[in-house]
Chains A and B, each alone.
Chain A
Amino acid sequence: MLPVKDIGDLLSEISTLYIIDEAAEITMEANPGTIDEAYLTAVRKLGVNRLSLGVQSLNDRELALLGRIHTAAEARDAVCFARGSGFDNLSLDFIYGLPGQTLTDWEHSVDDALEIAPEHLSLYALTLEEDTPMWTAITEGFLPGIDPDIAADMYELAEDRLAAHGYSHYEISNWALPGRECRHNLTYWRNLPYIGAGVAAHSCMDGHRFANTKDLDKYLGYFSGKKSSLLELDEEINPELELAESVILGLRLGEGINADDIKSRFGIDILAHYRRQVEEMAAAGLLEQTDRHLKLTRRGRLLSNEVFWRFLPG
């Protein structure tokens, strides 16, 4: 982990450049097994007020399958350290849809997570990437394949269970207790400008999306004047694309999008502009329109890509 002193320097540097809102959300991400209570207490004191823990699972067999270095006990310890050091805005990441994972396995995980009672939960479906060790193990028959229908059942189980415990499903993969939605991430889904600092960070503003190089030497080289640019991506987002991205990102949200909001931002009435797509997706039961409001249905959340690509320009 980054030493406490560095975090302190970073925060004070930012505060000399910008005025930091008193109620600003300052999140740190950490993995269990890499932090202790002393460390967390120190960073909490520096002003970090939200902690996101990459728990992934509370089952040792699953953690091993995912190639994680921590155990379920270490994950639970990390939660205790967080609470003990005064973090009252805690988010946990979990992964579901693992090879061989049953619906009952997942039900236990969800119940375990609820028992911890974090303010925020991110639940990610495992995406099998080609040429990873797990992909190889599945194609060679050492691991069972991933059944998308079981993964869908898991998603719906979590939806129901979390709703019953007062969590709102405010984005496809994110749940939060009232008022604890991640403000940082909401910026992305509302397609508002953001600045990322540091190696590999992405930013979006003034009709461009760009990314810093992932190469640390190159990145540092820029500051010592050896490299002329630190960008690895600089993409112009024309208004047509920005509109499409706003719709696609906005539909990820539980609240969906409001045609009037979009109209005031882009001057375009999306209900007319995308009429064919909206009708088609509504007929397929993936999209739901109430007055000037569009959002994904329960089924639509699981098949969101089918909806999204239809809004792309061209």
Chain B
Amino acid sequence: MEQALTRNFCIIAHIDHGKSTLADRLIELTGTMRHEDIGEQVMDSMELERERGITIKAKAVRLHYKANNGQTYRLNLVDTPGHVDFSYEVSRTLVACEGAVLVIDATQGIQAQTLANTYLAMENNLVLIPVINKIDLPGSEPERVLEEIVSVLGYKASDVLLMSAKTGQGVPPLLEEIIRRIPPPTGEATRPLRALIFDSRYDAYKGVIAYLRVADGRIAKGDRLRLMSNNTEMEVLEVGYFAPQPCPATELTAGDVGYIATGLKSVVECRVGDTVTTLQGGVTEPLIGYHPPKPMVFAGIYTTQAEDYKYLREAIDKLNLNDASLTYEPESSPILGYGFRCGFLGLLHLDIVRERLEREFSLSLVVTAPGVTFTITKTNGQKITINNPAAFPEPMEIEKIEEPWVKISIITPSSFIGALMELLSESEGVYKYQEYLGQHQSVGELGQRVRLEYEMPLRCMLTTFYDQMKSRSRGYASLDYEFTGYREGKLVKLDVLVNDMPVDAFSRIIPPDKAHDVGKAMVAKLKEVIPRQLFSVPLQAAVGSRIVARQDISARRKDVLAKCYGGDITRKRKLLEKQKEGKKKMKNIGRVEVPKEAFLEVLKLG
């Protein structure tokens, strides 16, 4: 097909503004699928995606659209995830497109990821088509949102489309606008092959399936190709596109979006952002610089039952075939046994991995409190990176500690500014900038919308920050953040000792002035959840050898003292058998028996 009749575009938005729903409507309108076959959702096809109502992996679909001018166009649509944890995937997807439909929820207006994704698209020179979605909802304010788009993003009101992706109202004109405004791809089919991988997944039969955008050249079945970042070679087992189910084709040529089956065994070898070229006569320059996303958040993952470790190892290996951004290395803990220290893109990613491991592999897991990577310069000049607090060197061996910082952007109605600023300063945030969005005066009692820009240690975002932000803004504030670099921090390791024994899984890295408060809270929580033992148990929080908080659990004095006559003996023995069974399910910290639930409760503590 002629390049002039091809359009490549993605749908971008803040989380939940309706990208996947709009994609479903476009699939239906172009007759790619019938309404009754679409069902609830086509785009969010993973079980977890449907349950949580979010897109986790980007998806590409090819549509054929007969336009008003009588020509049939080939539209390659890519639906992207909205959550900030996956913004790397979004940024790669943008490179594969010439345009983007920017969806904005008519009840919410511009939100943090609306801005972040818009700027990303602009940096990639994409043509943007702003649409206001969900106009069918009673609480929608299309006028206010329109004004915001005009004043904040600089579009003309006439550029903006109003629609409901749910009912389909106002959606048909979008297809004409896509053809009119988004330019066709450029690129030469006769030049050497250059194609960008913007997503990949693992298939048990065909190996890794890479989604790619061909910039120049062509790919056909049987071609021998090379990945430019790591020189991995592969043979193309199949080429095709999605409609939305995979459709094999004879070839993909310059300007096309589609997939190849590579036969590779793991997505780790074939990662998003990499450029593919031919093994012979290929190019020397990749399309874009390749830097895979670095995991930012780390946590230990263990099985509840130590003997399940081998299943965890198999499960993580398998999950990693499909999720290259998950990193993991074995670690062990005196209390938790053998497990893995895993790296994640963010807290949502962590949560998804945990849930998939538990659900798809039927494992019962203990996940330690999430943390970041610290760079430590020791007094002997040695530089080390640490992502497990337990591995922190002794205070006197530390010369300098550096930790990751993020730039965060919060959009909120102005009446919550005070509460949010308070939260930000409690969270070690540093004020940078504040701006009002739009000039619309009739914005109701909550006030005009404001964007706050702060910098803060990533560490501070990993506890209750997000929940706090939501609750202190009654759910109105939205958040975006990006990594800005490492900065020196004054930090100490807080240890928690149960019966004089340090519990590695409870250690925290915190500023020294918070040691007392955090220590006190942890000790109080432990006292609440650890049952009384046969002996008294001191609970202490310490920085080095300095105790910053202490409480004791006094020894248990009395059990149930039931009478025991002839008719009670069997029943009583059954109760004792139950008590004995219960002991087996306890986690032991030295001589102290702690129920697993109690242990998890303390791990969760921010």
The answer to whether B577 touches A148, judged by C-beta atoms less than 8 angstroms apart, is no
Interface 9-mer from A66-74, A76-84, A119-127: A119-127
| Contacting residue for B558 out of A200, A202, A248, A303, CB 8 A | A303
In the complex, number of A-B residue pairs with CB atoms less than 8 Å apart: 89
The answer to whether A306 touches B558, judged by C-beta atoms less than 8 angstroms apart, is no
Interface residue B425 (Cβ < 8 Å from any Cβ of A): no
Interface residue B565 (Cβ < 8 Å from any Cβ of A): yes
Q: Which residues of A contact B577 (CB under 8 A)?
A: 309, 312
Interface 9-mer from A136-144, A149-157, A263-271: A149-157
| Contacting residue for A305 out of B535, B570, B579, CB 8 A | B579
Q: Which residues of B contact A152 (CB under 8 A)?
A: 557-558
The answer to whether B563 touches A122, judged by C-beta atoms less than 8 angstroms apart, is yes
The answer to whether A149 touches B534, judged by C-beta atoms less than 8 angstroms apart, is no
Kindly report which residue of chain B lies nearest to residue A187, judged by CB atoms. B566
Q: Interface range on chain A: under 10, 10 to 19, 20 to 34, or 35 or more? A: 35 or more
6 cross-chain pairs, A with B, having the tightest CB-CB distances, nearest first: A152-B558, A152-B557, A202-B567, A309-B576, A125-B561, A302-B558
- Bound together, the chains give a CA A235 to CA B569 distance in angstroms of 11
Q: Which residues of B contact A (CB under 8 A)?
A: 534-535, 556-567, 569-570, 573, 575-577, 579-580, 583
- Bound together, the chains give a CA A302 to CA B559 distance in angstroms of 6
Q: Which residues of B contact A149 (CB under 8 A)?
A: 557-558
The answer to whether A302 touches B557, judged by C-beta atoms less than 8 angstroms apart, is yes
Residues of A45-72 contacting chain B, CB below 8 A? none
The answer to whether A155 touches B576, judged by C-beta atoms less than 8 angstroms apart, is no
Residues of A248-272 contacting chain B, CB below 8 A? 248-249, 252
Q: Which residues of B contact A155 (CB under 8 A)?
A: 558, 561
Interface residue A173 (Cβ < 8 Å from any Cβ of B): yes
Interface residue A134 (Cβ < 8 Å from any Cβ of B): no
Interface residue A85 (Cβ < 8 Å from any Cβ of B): no
- Bound together, the chains give a CA A165 to CA B74 distance in angstroms of 101
Output the least CB separation between B512 and chain A (Å): 37
| In the complex with contacts A188-B569, A312-B573, A284-B535 CB distance below 8 A | yes
A291-308 CB mask vs B (1 if < 8 Å, else 0) is: 000000001001111101
Interface residue A40 (Cβ < 8 Å from any Cβ of B): no
13 contacts between A and B (CB under 8 A): A155-B561, A172-B561, A185-B565, A196-B567, A202-B566, A209-B569, A286-B534, A303-B534, A303-B556, A303-B558, A303-B559, A309-B576, A312-B573
Kindly report which residue of chain A lies nearest to residue B554, judged by CB atoms. A149
Kindly report which residue of chain B lies nearest to residue A185, judged by CB atoms. B565
Output the least CB separation between B532 and chain A (Å): 9
Output the least CB separation between B527 and chain A (Å): 15
Q: Which residues of A contact B573 (CB under 8 A)?
A: 245, 248, 312
The answer to whether A312 touches B561, judged by C-beta atoms less than 8 angstroms apart, is no
| In the complex with contacts A122-B563, A196-B566, A148-B558 CB distance below 8 A | yes
The answer to whether B535 touches A148, judged by C-beta atoms less than 8 angstroms apart, is no
| In the complex with contacts A305-B579, A312-B577, A312-B580, A151-B558 CB distance below 8 A | yes
The answer to whether A304 touches B570, judged by C-beta atoms less than 8 angstroms apart, is no
The answer to whether A148 touches B557, judged by C-beta atoms less than 8 angstroms apart, is yes
| Contacting residue for B534 out of A124, A209, A235, A306, CB 8 A | A306
Residues of A174-198 contacting chain B, CB below 8 A? 185, 187-189, 194, 196
Q: Which residues of B contact A122 (CB under 8 A)?
A: 563
The answer to whether A302 touches B561, judged by C-beta atoms less than 8 angstroms apart, is yes
- Bound together, the chains give a CA A248 to CA B580 distance in angstroms of 14
Output the least CB separation between A270 and chain B (Å): 17
Q: Which residues of A contact B583 (CB under 8 A)?
A: 309
Interface residue A204 (Cβ < 8 Å from any Cβ of B): yes
